[in-house]
Amino acid sequence: MTTQIRDSIRYQGRFFCIEEATGVGMFTPASHGLKPVPLATACHRGFVCSFSLTDGTLRLEALLLGIDPLSRLRIKYGKATPLLGRPPQLDERFGNAAVYPSLDWPVPLTGGLRLGAGFIHRSLLAPDFDPLWPYEEAHELCFEDGALIEAHDRTEALARLRQAHPLPARRDLGREAHHALLSQVFPLTT
């Protein structure tokens, strides 16, 4: 199975992968009338978002969207539906794809995000594993109507948990035990 492309967020001047979003109000193309199609085997859901945390507010910066051939023609001839007032542009990286750049839209998320950075090693990925296990750095952010209300660096807690439960032993954990351990590191978003 191909590892899926993650949404990203610019946080503390660096880029992180968004590994989990909880709550309500997170941006989805469907909530804006867009119907994504798979971009590649690494993006079955058909879209990738770039976010930022700017002045304490979660913002959607750009959207890469898988499109069908008819939508491609609409974009080519200037007939495509805009998103948040911005027209799409064709993006050739994935074949049939559109990009909506420079959106700068405040996301009204009430909930949380788990962020990861510093991919340790591909071999750490396994079925039913939480995606943050293979990251060196982890953060947990909580929002109310898009405003950051809590931010926690969970890197040390995750490192302690990894040390207490080495990889071979973690693979033997059941889903519930894994979830229980994870909730010790990420109490706000698990």
The pLDDT tens digits of the residues spanning 27-43 come to 999 999 999 999 888 88
Those residues with Cβ within 8 angstroms of residue 178's Cβ, 6 or more apart along the chain or in another chain: 128, 129, 130, 170
**Residue 37: which domain range?**
27-106
Pair (99, 77) in one structural domain: yes
The pLDDT tens digits of the residues spanning 21-30 come to 999 999 999 9
Number of domains into which the chain is organized: 2
Pair (78, 126) in one structural domain: no
| This prediction's pTM | 0.89
Pair (61, 83) in one structural domain: yes
Task: Report DSSP letters for 20-35, one per residue.
Answer: EEEEE----GGGGT--
Pair (99, 122) in one structural domain: no
Question: Which residues partner with 119 through β-bridges?
Answer: 135
Name the pairing type of β-strands 14-24 and 57-66.
unpaired
* Widest Cα–Cα separation across the chain: 58
Domain-located, residue 4? no
